[in-house]
């Protein structure tokens, strides 16, 4: 029984091939979208790092100003 030929209607075979091709296309599209998300996330992480560094610099400058203005010389 295992070696018995399997008969499939041509229309059904073509439908299966169309579905497989559609799935492959959707998988490719999903991978491309995931890559775009990774790129955006990387850009966002870089921007957050720059903002954090800017805030640290501002904080240091504010501390300097505070010490300069309010501490006796």
Give residue 16's pLDDT: 93
Task: Render each residue's pLDDT in the chain as its tens digit; 73 residues.
Answer: 567 777 778 888 899 999 999 999 999 999 999 999 999 999 999 999 999 999 999 999 999 999 888 877 6
How high is the pLDDT of residue 1? Answer: 54
Q: What is the pLDDT of residue 39?
A: 98
Q: 13-16: which pairs have CB atoms within 8 A and are 24 or more residues apart?
A: none
pLDDT of residue 64: 93
């Amino acid at each position: 029984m295992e070696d018995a030929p399997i008969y499939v209607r041509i229309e059904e075979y073509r439908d299966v091939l169309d579905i497989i091709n559609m799935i492959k296309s959707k998988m490719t599209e999903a991978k491309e979208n995931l890559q775009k998300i990774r790129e955006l996330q990387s850009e966002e992480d870089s921007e957050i790092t720059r903002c954090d560094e800017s805030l640290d610099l501002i904080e240091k400058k504010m501390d300097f100003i505070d010490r300069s203005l309010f501490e006796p010389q």
